[in-house]
A and B are shown apart, each in its own frame.
Chain A
């Protein structure tokens, strides 16, 4: 069974630009969560989607947004990039929605560098 896939794996952008990251969950998984990982802050929760609806949201500014499609694939968008947005962005999928006990399985991440 294929794992969680994320594209692209690496991105270099400049301040002020916007970026879209993509995540394909494990087949049959309906929930997708996004995290930002930096050396100083560790893994921080961005948002979770289930059945095309955002169910949970972390404490990030509105520049960070996402969506989920009917096939459970998800995209994350960051507008007006700042230097501090440089991080590893991780996507995780789980079988059930956020109201259930649920292991999350992570993709390899997208390394975003903002210059």
Chain B
């Protein structure tokens, strides 16, 4: 069974204090790893897709990387508006179809 573990559960940063969020996964036949951002009371917002080990993607202050066992979401010089829950999900192959398994998320708080 596919498993996704995100750590830490919660992270509090000072504005400008860079850090990384971890997503460890166990999956048979990884087809893609996705990062989402979710604000309170809203649906998850798509950030990145990573398909193979070594791949990196960047968007503003965020950079996502992927290895064979884990992914990191690096946040450089975060701002208070980066406060949100960050979700990681893996897409695996099941027969002719694929399915998405989510981690429980990391709640990030950035203080001004």
Q: Which A residues have a C-beta under 8 Å from some C-beta of B?
A: 4, 33, 35, 41-45, 48, 55-56, 90, 92, 97-109, 111
SS class, residues of chain B in contact with chain A: strand
Known: A103-B34, A103-B46. Contact between A33 and B96, CB under 8 A? no
Interface set, chain B 20-72, CB cutoff 8 A to A = 31-32, 34, 36, 41-46, 49, 51
Give the distance in Å from the alpha carbon of A100 to the alpha carbon of B99 in the complex. 10
| Interface flag for B98 (CB, 8 Å) | yes
Most B CB contacts (10 A, CB to CB) among A4, A44, A98, A101 go to: A98
Q: Which B residues have a C-beta under 8 Å from some C-beta of A?
A: 31-32, 34, 36, 41-46, 49, 51, 87, 89, 91, 94, 96-105
B37 CB, min distance to chain A CBs, angstroms: 11
Q: Is the CB of B34 within 8 A of A106?
A: no
Give the distance in Å from the alpha carbon of A108 to the alpha carbon of B40 in the complex. 10
| Residues of the B chain whose Cβ atoms lie less than 8 Å from the Cβ of A109 | 42-43
Q: Is the CB of A33 within 8 A of B91?
A: no
| Residues of the A chain whose Cβ atoms lie less than 8 Å from the Cβ of B100 | 33, 45, 104
26 contacts between A and B (CB under 8 A): A4-B43, A42-B102, A43-B44, A43-B87, A43-B89, A45-B100, A45-B101, A48-B99, A55-B97, A56-B94, A56-B98, A90-B44, A92-B43, A98-B97, A99-B98, A101-B51, A103-B34, A103-B46, A104-B34, A106-B36, A106-B44, A107-B43, A108-B41, A108-B42, A109-B42, A111-B41
Give the distance in Å from the alpha carbon of A67 to the alpha carbon of B46 in the complex. 25
B72 CB, min distance to chain A CBs, angstroms: 19
Give the distance in Å from the alpha carbon of A99 to the alpha carbon of B94 in the complex. 9
Q: Which of the residues B34, B99, B102 comes within 8 Å of A98, measured between beta carbons?
A: B99
Known: A101-B32, A101-B91. Contact between A108 and B43, CB under 8 A? yes
Name the residue of chain A whose CB is nearest to the CB of B103: A42
| Residues of the B chain whose Cβ atoms lie less than 8 Å from the Cβ of A106 | 36, 43-46
Q: Is the CB of A102 within 8 A of B91?
A: yes
| Residues of the A chain whose Cβ atoms lie less than 8 Å from the Cβ of B101 | 45
Known: A42-B103, A43-B102, A105-B46. Contact between A99 and B91, CB under 8 A? no
